[in-house]
Structures are given as structure tokens and as C-alpha cells.
Chain A
Amino acid sequence: MSKIVDFMEERLPLTELAAFAKKKTVPLHRYAFWYYWGGISLLCFIVQVFTGILLLVYFKPGPDAYDSVRQITYDIHFGWLIRSAHAWSATLFLLSAFIHMFSVYFMKGYRKPRELGWWSGITLLLLGLLFGFSGYLLPMDELSFFATRVGLAIPDAIPVVGHAISNILRGGLEVSEITVQRFFALHVVVLPLLYLPIIGFHLYLVQLHGNALPPSEEEKPAIDRKSIAFFPNFVIKDLGMWLITLNVIALLASLFPQQLGKVADPLASAPAGIHPEWYFMSQFSTLKIVGKLIPGGLGEAAGITLFIVGLLLWILIPFYDVKKKGGLIAKRATYFGIFVVVVMLVTTILGYTAI
């Protein structure tokens, strides 16, 4: 055993890594709880990779998609569990990524030198939403069929290039097995290829700059700040969080297994009360509200413009809220964050009550 360790030590910077892990600390303060959420979303992503690979064993993209998911859900031993774990872990993945993003925002974790972490994180969340959107179609049941139809109608509203974009995504003028095939390629090859290097970069940045301190902690003199060792203290707590998350996924998947609706029928009318997954509900209901205020295609264009402007402001916040003692600007950034959270929550609730 020690021979193997020696062999590796001569060839890899293990001693330096061990020294780094020993020296690294994680701040401890009243908001430290929020530091765990990035790790929780990472665990959910890992669960997605494993359950996704398992689903790949039996899933057939294209015309057999629905039947293969039916087999996974009802015929294959524990197929229902693996599929449900994949679906629930997707929800928890996006939920924890959202919580992580908002906690970073309110702790002002996007300020110099952590701007790249902020941008790579937003990219990961947007890719995560695309993962959700593309994966939702794959069972090809009634709900996924209509959700994808509605979802792809949104880029249609973009002037000039909109039609081309949604036609390319759909692979035709209607959602069909061709769409399933390309969404499958997107979901299991293209998005993971993009996601993995960015997540590596994101994690590298966390190690490089360490955890951001919230302004209330930064004001304190260094001697008054508390911290715990990264290894083993924080790692053990982090693993504890992972264990809790894994148990939550297992419980949700066992108690509320994912259902499979009727097979998608292009001639059937949309089922009553059709709505997107919760992570698209806010946008869905905002579009509805804007559409009521400004009827016709203009309303849709206005809604989409609103999202793009909001997202741009969100991305560019590190350029606005720069200074450590930001005063009014820092306060405004916080108010903007609160505004965004309130709007997202209210529109989501409105979306669900309208069903």
C-alpha cells in the first residue's frame, strides 16, 4: 500500500494537495448554512448522471420512446424507482441550484474576484433548465408532448430568426419522434459535454477564491471571524448534507413515483389544466399575464424581452454592485434581488392557482 502511495507521490502533487486541504478553512457564521446548497446541487447532478446512465440501458429514442419508458416503469424490476429518482433528483437539482444562486446573490458573492464564478454558475443553471426541458419530452406521453409544443412556441415569437430556431429544435413543423431523437442527443450528449467542463471550472474557482463572506461578516475585524477546517470538519458536514439529500430523493421517489400518462397523440386536444414543470411556471404565468395586458404577438414579444432584459441585468450585477462598502448601490442590488424573488414566487403561485 505504501509503495503505491510512494509511486503516486513521486508523480502527482499529492503532498501539495494535502497541504492545501489542511490549510483550507470555511467561514463559520449565522449564514453559513447557505454554503451547503452548491454541494447539494452537485450531489443531485451526480445522482442524475448515475440514474441517467441506468435509464439509458433500456430507453429507446424515436418511435419506441413511449413504449420503452412504459417497460421501464411497469416491467423492469425497480425501473419505476430509477425513473422516479431521476425525476425527483432533477427537481431537487434545480431547486438547490436556485437556492444556491440566490444565497450567493444576497451574500454578494458575485463581487470581485468571484465574477467568473457568478457567470459560470448562471450558465450551469441555464444548462440545467435545458436539461429539464429536453428530458421532459423523452417519455413522449401526453403531458411531455404538449409541454414541448408550448415550450417550442416561445422561441417562435422571436422576430426574424424565431421560426428557424424552433423548427430546427423540433426537426419539423410539429413535435414528433424526430424531436424525441434530437432532444435525446441534446439531453445525453451535448448538454453533458458542455456541463462537465463548466462545472469543473466552477468548482476550481471555489477552491481558488474560497467561500465568499457576507458583508456583515466582512465588516468584522479578521480576529472576530470564526472558521472551521475544510478537512475533515466541513467535508463531514457536507457529506452529512449529501446523505440527507440522498435519503430525501429515495423517500420522494418511493412515496411519489413518477407516473406515465397516455401516449402522445398528435390528434388529441390538449388535456385541461396543462402546465409546465414548476421551474418554468414563473415564466409561463408571466407570459400569460403580459399576454392579457398586451394581446396578440406583441404581448409575447414583450414578455420575452422582459425575460431577456431581466436575465441580462442579473448576469451583469457584478459590474454594478462593485464596491465592498457599496452603500446605496449595494442596497439597490439587494432590493433588485428581493424584487426578482418576489416576482418569481408570486407568478409561480399565480400560475398554480390558475390551473
Chain B
Amino acid sequence: MSESVNPEIQIESSDDDGVSRRQFVKVAVGGMCLAYLGAVGYPIYRYLESPVEKSETLAAIKNVDLNDAQKLPVGSVMMFKFGPYPALLIHHDNGDWSAFNAVCTHLGCTVQYHKDQDKIMCACHGGQYDPRTGQNIAGPPPKPLEKFAVKVNAASLTVSRA
């Protein structure tokens, strides 16, 4: 502690270096308000977000077994659920299989396979996709459809994330 000769200077310097009572109260009250908001807000957020978590767990699945789907006739199509999403299974005329996430990459409508034009189309805004690769070929979609790998088994068909 240095001895101060002039008391006035000492008062001024403590005001400069330290925190004034008003500032302290401001920060303390503000901090408590924030802590309180957090304590109330966090449970509410988790409460509302509960089903999202379940849906995400569902979406994280790697593959789906479709019983008897290997019997799907040539040239026909079938809808199934891949986790929470609608998905599309096509058995092409030449015997090839392809499967896609059926959610349009434009604004989330569910797409449809049109056999007569051999295209996957979205009725909402006219988006078109290639039915073998899932590539976006016309209309507004910005990205190809997510393509799944298809494996034919004896009694079922396994669709898995590529």
C-alpha cells in the first residue's frame, strides 16, 4: 500500500480502477435475470424438443428390411418408410432396383414415379428426377434425391443408406 498524500486523488483512482456500486448492481441483477431465464427456458426447450430427439433417432437408422418386397412385379413402384421419411422403391422393366428418399429436395413435397415418362416427378412445383440415379433433371430442385442401396434377399429386400 502506497501512502497517499492527497486524499482526493485516492478517491478518484479507486473510482477509476474499481467498480462502482451502481455498475456492480447492474451486472449482478442482469446476471441473475439471465440465470433465471436459463433455468426457466432450458426445461421448456427440452420439453418442446422431446419428439425431435425421437425423430432424429428414428432418422439415424442405417437400413430397412422390407418383407416380401422382392416379389414386387417388374415395372411397378412401392412406397415405404425409411425412418421418419417416405421412400420410394422402383422395380425397373429390366429387372434393376432403385430406392430413393421420396422427399423432394426443393420444398419437401413427396415425389412420385411416373412410369409412362419414366421419370420421378414432384407435383408441387414440377421438379423432375432421373428414376435410376435420382439426379435432378428439370424444374426447381437444387439437388438429386438421396439414393439408397438395394439388396435382394431370399424372403425380403434390404434398403440401406449408400
Contact = CB atoms under 8 A, between A and B. Distances in A.
Interface stretch (B14-22, B43-51, B89-97): B43-51
Interface string A62-77: 0000000000000111
Contacts of A250: 39
Nearest to A77: B46
B48 A81 contact: no
Contacts, number: 27
A57 B44 CA distance: 11
A54 B48 CA distance: 8
Contacts of A82: 43-44, 47
A54 B44 contact: yes
Nearest to A247: B36
Interface residues on A, range: 10 to 19
Q: Is the interface of B mostly helix, strand, loop or mixed?
A: helix
Contacts of A77: 43, 46-47, 49-50, 53
Interface string B15-40: 00000000000000000000000010
Contacts of B50: 75-77, 79
Residue from A78, A81, A250 having most chain B Cβ neighbours under 10 A = A78
Contacts of B47: 54, 57, 76-79, 81-82
Interface residues of B, number: 10
Residue from B47, B50, B51, B53 having most chain A Cβ neighbours under 10 A = B47
Interface string B43-77: 11011111101000000000000000000000000
A77 B43 CA distance: 8
Contacts of B39: 250
A57 B43 contact: no
Contacts of A57: 47-48
Contacts of B51: 76
Contacts of B49: 77
Nearest to B48: A57
A54 B47 CA distance: 8
Contacts of A76: 47, 50-51
Nearest to B43: A78
B100 to A, nearest CB: 33
Nearest to A250: B39
Contacts of A79: 47, 50
Nearest to B39: A250
A67 B13 CA distance: 67
Nearest to A51: B44
A78 B45 CA distance: 9
A78 B51 CA distance: 13
A64 to B, nearest CB: 16
Residue from A75, A76, A250 having most chain B Cβ neighbours under 10 A = A76
Nearest to B47: A78
Q: Which 9 A-B pairs have the closest CB atoms?
A: A78-B43, A77-B46, A76-B50, A78-B47, A77-B50, A78-B46, A81-B43, A77-B47, A82-B47
Interface of A: 54, 57, 75-79, 81-82, 250
13 contacts: A54-B44, A54-B47, A54-B48, A57-B48, A75-B50, A76-B51, A77-B49, A77-B50, A77-B53, A79-B47, A79-B50, A82-B44, A250-B39
Interface of B: 39, 43-44, 46-51, 53
